[in-house]
Structures are given as C-alpha cells and as structure tokens.
Amino acid sequence: MGRAPCCDKANVKKGPWSPEEDAKLKSYIEQHGTGGNWIALPQKIGLKRCGKSCRLRWLNYLRPNLKHGGFSEEEDNIICSLYISIGSRWSIIAAQLPGRTDNDIKNYWNTRLKKKLLGKQRKELQARRSSGLKQEMGRGKDNPVASSVDNNIVNVNPCWPELHVLTPIPYSNQEPRLNDHTSIRKLLIKLGGKFCADPQYQLIQPTTNSLQYPIDISHSQQLYDHQLISISPSTSVEALNVDSGSHIVQYGVDEAGLPTLEGRSNFPEGFEGIDYSNSQRLDGLEFLLSDDMGNYRTGTSNPGEAIIDSFGDVSSQIYPIPPVTLTNSEGIPPRFLQEFPSPDLRYPGLV
DNA sequence: AAGCCTTACAACCGCCACTTG
DNA sequence: TCAAGTGGCGGTTGTAAGGCT
C-alpha cells in the first residue's frame, strides 16, 4: 500500500496558474509567510491547489528578485563548471547563481546549454577532422600509433591526458547518449577549467595567500545540515584552513595576481571515504568521466585503486564525484572568482 | 494561410530525507 | 523505534509560442 497523497487530488486544480491565484498566493505569503506548512497553506488562502504546487509556484515564479531567461555567458560557464563538478544537482548550482531557480537552470541546461555546447563541439570536431585528415595523409596511412593517440586522448588539458582509459563501457546500448555526453564533456574541457575526476591529479599548485576551506559535496542534504561557512575577504585564513579529509576548495591568488578557486579531494587510500549511495545524484554525469570510446577513466592502472567504478553497476555506488574544481583559467570568468567569496554566497562545509 | 515541427518553460510526479509525535 | 507527514529535489511531461515548409 502506498503513501497517502499529500492532498485530495480530485479537488485540486492542476495546470497553469491564473493571475488571480498568483496574486492570492503572493499577497498571503508576503503578509504572513508560509507558516512553515505548505500543505495547509492553500486551504488558508482558499486556493484549490496542492501545497506542493503552491510551494513550487512561489519558489520558481513569484518569489521576489527572481531572474527569468537571459542567461549570460558567465552564468553559462558557471553552470557548466558546476555541472562537471557535481552533476545535475541543480539546487546547489542555483545557489551559486543569485536570482536563478534550480528549475530554471535545469530547463536551461536541458533545452539550450547542452545543445549550444554540442553545436560548438561539432564545429570544432569538423575543423579538427579536416586538419587531422591532412596530417594523416602526410604521415601515411599505416601508422597505428599516431591514429590511436588521436582516438583515445583528448590532449587539451594538463589533467586529463594522465588519466588512463581502462574500464569498458558498462552499458553499450546507450551509445548515442553517451556520445553526446562525451562531446559535451570534451568541449567543456576545451572551454577551460581544470576538470579532473581524479583526486590523484588534483594536486593544487602552490598559491600565495591561499585560503582553504572544506566543502563536502558528497550529499546535497548533508550540505545544508552542516554549519554554513560564510567566506568573505575578511575571513581569516585560520578560520577557513580546516581540512575535513574530504573535499577542499582552495581560494587563492595566482602568479598574475588573479584570484583562483580550486578544488581537490583528500581521499584516503582506496578512495572509499565517500559513499555516494544515492545513485541518482550522478545520473547524467557519467559522460563527463568517460572518454571517446565510452570508457570510464580511472586514476590508476591498478584495478584495486580504480577511482571511477563502473557506473553501470548500480549495486555498487561507491565512487567519488569530482570535487568542485574551479580555476581562473578560461572556463571561469574572473568576475565569478572575485565575487564568489562574498558574504552573499554562503558555502556550506564541514567544521 | 494552414499544418506540422521545434523549442522553451511551467508544472507535475515520484522518490528520498528529515521531522515529529 | 517507527510510522506518518512534510519539504525538497531531480526527472519528466504538457503545452503554448514561434518557426518552417
């Protein structure tokens, strides 16, 4: 027997909200707040809506200071970077984009950003193919080494090439989807940022004036449960320099004086420190960790130390997700890096 | 001009985690 | 300790609007 429904579905209106309904909901919440109970709220106002629906309408549409549409190039980059780092955890991504809702970002990613990136990628691929073809003809056809390098390595990032391609594709019947995802991932890498799935290669270059603060992104709910650490330029290094033993985001300044924000993971040997038992959190992210051939990258050739387990095996969902890894290279606009440590952008972390 | 197709986005659904009694 | 209630989240669907043939 299933759970009781949260509302009487027969007497609940569905579909688009009318302006009158919007006005009722908005004015009530502005005057009285939600009362901490969304389920009871529609009855109080006299709306024939499900409480969940009211909540959604308020959060995604009626709430003040919301922005709709018109995503900027910078926002695109932030979304891409965070998507690579943490996957489709839209609420966390939305938390980094003031005025944006998770629903907005999710829609934007699914309908536009993904396609936009694929379009760019295809152009680059075509260009590469045409130039590669010329080179190939120059090299001669029977050079297996040269062609295998081209096929297997995306040598555009100092981080990726060191990752080995070891694990076979776990579900080969999803090739089209995987190929699309692979394309996006590769393009994102080209666009900038050090996107590395492997903690082993998350060695952060020494930075001056660096601040470290821990960020546990292993579980979205956990994020909210831990004490929020508000990072601001005035926050002391000592206050932030706490190593949780999991994910570390490092805020610093590079040689050129530009702010940097990088992530790394202090996984213990065997990389079993984080249990991502909620597999759905990573759905859709697997392509970011796979290579051209649909294989998944592991950080070492030793199978016992494989970092990225087979994503096809849903029964063993113990694998680290790539830590938040943001740098001031082309991928992340300087504005974001400068603004990130503002009091408004509270970053949850362990203490 | 009409019909079909595509796109964008609001809204819903179902699941999971947390809270409370 | 456990079950019910609730909030929150991500995935998916429905549909209006615009574009294309």
Is the C-beta of residue A103 closer than 7 Å to nucleic acid chain B?
Answer: yes
Q: What is the pLDDT of residue A58?
A: 92
Q: What is the pLDDT of residue A186?
A: 52
* CA nearest neighbour of A264 among A281, A254, A252, A250: A250
Residue A68 near residue A107, CB atoms below 8 Å: no
Phi-psi region of A245 (alpha: psi -120 to 50; beta: other; left: phi over 0): left
Q: Which of residues 134-173 of A touch strand B (CB under 7 A)?
A: none
> What residues in chain A have per-residue pLDDT under 50?
1-3, 139-181, 183, 187, 190-351
Angle at Cα A102 formed by Cα A97 and Cα A106, nearest 5°?
A: 105
Angle at Cα A148 formed by Cα A189 and Cα A174, nearest 5°?
A: 60
pTM above 0.85, yes or no: no
Q: What is the pLDDT of residue A132?
A: 66
Q: What is the pLDDT of residue A57?
A: 92
Nucleotides of B under 7 A from a protein CB: 7-14, 16-18
Q: What is the pLDDT of residue A5?
A: 56
The residue that minimises its CA distance to C1' of B16 is A278
The residue that minimises its CA distance to C1' of B6 is A111
Q: What is the pLDDT of residue A81?
A: 86
Angle at Cα A117 formed by Cα A85 and Cα A179, nearest 5°?
A: 80
The first and second tokens of residue A265, run together, are 């993971």
